[in-house]
Amino acid sequence: MDWMSFITAAPEMTLLGLICVVLVADLFVDNEHRILTYWMALASLAVTLWVLLATAPDGRTEVFSGSYVSDGLSQALKIAVTGFVAVAFIYARDYLRANDLHKGEYYVLGLFGLLGMMIMISANSLLTMYLGLETLALSQYALVAFDRDNENSAESAMKYFVLGAIASGALLYGISWVYGVTGSIQLDEIAAVLAADAALNSLPLWFGIAFIIVGIAFKFGAVPFHMWLPDVYHGARSPVTLYVAAAPKIAAFALTIRILVDALGDLHEVWGGMIMVIAVLSLLLGNIVAIAQTNIKRMLAYSTIAHVGFILLAIFCGTEEGYAAALFYTLTYVVAAAGAFGMVILLSRRGFEAESLRDFKGLNARSPWFALMMMFLMLSLAGIPPFIGFFGKLNAISAVLGSGYTGLAVMMMLASVPGLYYYLRVVWYMYFEEPEDLAVLQANTDTRLVMSLNGVAVLALGIVPGWLWALCLAVLA
């Protein structure tokens, strides 16, 4: 081991050091000055981002005996997750303060989760991957239970924990079978061993892959391993939901690409079918069940399941274009989803959670600007041009068609029609109904600013989507 290894992993090292500083410093901050923790957390993110940019890798570097990798993909994904964690923190602050929940734990756990995501993104061995995954998962379990006096939060955290533990177990079990067959836990070595000996491509390996896919499907929230998702989104306090809904989806994408493509890329015909089945089921179930929801967090949870179906179908193509389309879709979905949960936070105030669809009634009369922003976000999620979600859909369908699955492409498009209905319902409530709740929006300037940037971003990205698509193609080439 040499110093190069530490420099390559500098972002994680820095972040870990800063988390410890925040954790200790928070002990000496009383509740009235908790804002200091917030600023320290944001500063940690800024420093981490700076280190990320300063240590940008030149090509692909493997360190720590090949269990850690730094490449263009990891760089791009880490910048994205850092950014989305920062967005979650900014949206969360006012809400937490208004509800007497402004404690250091939210930020510290959020930062630990980020560390886990960064480790997942850079993992080049199955064990590093598992390590990152558990760091993220444990932080999330604790975050969901963060409002400990709230029964819903506690219940959903318990549910999340139990199901998450089972899924982690399944993943670890699958990893052990793959290790047993190939004799390696390092992703590129697994690929090399499998390429060298075709006889290894047999039932024991498939058995292992099936369990790994269970783990992946759980982390993404794909059918039939989606049960936790609506309950957790619903039960958690809105800033936690925002955190769970945004950045970890990008980490789940990294998990999928690293394992299925880097290690098992040649076995596309083995895992492709499984991915397709769960993707199609997610797409259908998510879009149809979302229609019946009256709680916007649950509705967005089911819509997430549907979007995951799209992402997985793009990965199912097994082409570089498909992977790039999946990455593009994930990023653009997360931008819009973060904004949508941000809006739930923005409309909430002390003792009042704006989580029912009814709470959006007449928003246009209360605040035309934020109604417009919410409309942008909903239309982007529905995939209506010129919003960025449309280009996500376009690229995914183009990749699926390019791989020759015309029927699948038609089904993806048709499935988005019921999707349009429930997004339009939010627009309908905001614009066509009279407000039931006349309270003035209480959010602070920075929340309003981030919300506006978020809403404008889905339109602006939709008008100039080219660079993002080029970037996605470049990092997955």
Partner 1 sequence: MSDYLLSILIWLPIAGGVVLLAMGDDNNPASARAHAMRWTALAVSVLTFIFSIGLYTGFDTTTAAMQFVERAPWVDAIDVWYYLGVDGLSAPLILLTTFITPLVVIAGWDVIKTRPAQYFAAFLILEGLMNGVFSALDGLLFYVFWEAMLVPMFLIIGVWGGERRVYATLKFFLYTFLGSVLMLVAFIYLFRVTGSFDLFGWMASPLSLGAQKLIFIAFLLAFAVKVPMWPVHTWLPDAHVEAPTGGSVILAAIMLKMGGYGFVRLSLPIVPDGSEYFAGMMIALSLIAVVYIGFVALMQTDMKKLIAYSSIAHMGFVTLGFFIVWHMAGGSGAVLGVQGGMVQMVSHGLISGAMFLCVGVLYDRVHSRRIADYGGVANTMPVFAAFMVLFSMANAGLPGTSGFVGEFMVIIASFKANPWFAFFAATTLILGAAYTLWMVKRVIFGEVANDNVAALQDLNRREFIVLAILAFAVLLIGLWPAPLVDMMNVTIEHLVEQAGQTKF
Residues lying near partner 1 in the complex (CB under 8 A): 364, 368, 372, 375, 379, 384-386, 390-391, 394-395, 397-398, 401-402, 406, 409-410, 413-414, 416-417, 420-421, 424, 427-428, 431-432, 465-466, 469-470, 473
In angstroms, what is the minimal distance from the CB of 470 to partner 1? 5
Q: Which is nearer to partner 1, 275 or 408 (CB)?
A: 408
CA distance 204 to 104: 46
Rounded least distance, CB 80 to partner 1, Å: 19
Q: Which of 311, 276, 306 lies closest to 290 in space, CA to CA?
A: 306
Q: Kindly report the number of other CB atoms within 10 A of residue 33's CB atom.
A: 9
Close Cβ partners of 158 (under 8 Å, ≥ 6 residues apart): 145
- Give min distance, CB of 393 to partner 1, in A: 8
CA distances to 36, 139, 187, 312, 475 from 25, rounded to whole Å, are 9, 19, 39, 42, 38
Smallest distance from partner 1 to CB 463, Å:
9
Which residues contact residue 82 at a Cβ distance below 8 angstroms, ignoring those fewer than 6 apart?
45, 48, 49, 52, 114
Nearer to partner 1, 18 or 335 (CB): 335
Mapping DSSP onto H, E and C, the string for 120-188 reads HHHECEHHHHHHHHHHHHHHHHHHHCCCCCCHHHHHHHHHHHHHHHHHHHHHHHHHHHHHHHHCCCEHH
The least distance separating partner 1 from the CB of residue 98, rounded to whole angstroms, comes to 28
For partner 1, the closer CB: 37 or 395: 395
Phi–psi pair at 319, nearest 5 degrees: -115, 160
- Write the DSSP symbol of residue 349: B
- Cβ at position 271, least distance to partner 1 in Å: 25
Contact 47, 106 (CB under 8 A): no
Find tokens 């209905």 and name the residue. 421
CB of 450 to partner 1, least distance (A): 21
Cα end-to-end span (Å), the chain: 29
**Residue (118 or 409) nearer to partner 1, CB:** 409
Minimum gap (Å) between residue 27 Cβ and partner 1: 48
Sign of CA dihedral 68, 73, 79, 81: negative
Decide whether 292 or 413 has the Cβ nearer to partner 1: 413
* Smallest distance from partner 1 to CB 404, Å: 10
Instruction: Tell me if 232 sits within 8 A of 159, measured CB to CB.
Output: yes
Q: How far apart are CA 67 and CA 61, in angstroms?
A: 11
Cα separation, 457 vs 443, in Å, equals 20
C-alpha angle 17/138/328, rounded to 5°? 85
Helix H, strand E, coil C: the string for 199-258 is HHCCHHHHHHHHHHHHHHHHHHCCCCCCCHHHHHHHHCCHHHHHHHHCHHHHHHHHHHHH
Residue 385 or residue 435: which is nearer to partner 1 going by CB? 385
How near is the Cβ of 428 to partner 1 at its closest, in Å?
6
To partner 1, the closest distance from the beta carbon of 286 in angstroms equals 17
Nearer to partner 1, 240 or 357 (CB): 357
Who's near 164: CB < 8 A, 6+ residues apart? 137, 140, 141, 218, 228
From CA 97, how far away is CA 397, in angstroms rounded? 43
Could you tell me the smallest distance in angstroms from the CB atom of residue 453 to partner 1? Answer: 17
Q: Toward partner 1, which CB reaches closer, 235 or 392?
A: 392
Nearer to partner 1, 157 or 409 (CB): 409
Nearer to partner 1, 169 or 368 (CB): 368
Give dist(CA 222, CA 163) in Å, integer.
13
Q: Tokens for 178, please give them.
A: 């793959």
Comparison of 165 and 417: residue with beta carbon closer to partner 1: 417
- Residues 90/46, Cβ–Cβ less than 8 Å: no
Nearer to partner 1, 137 or 290 (CB): 290
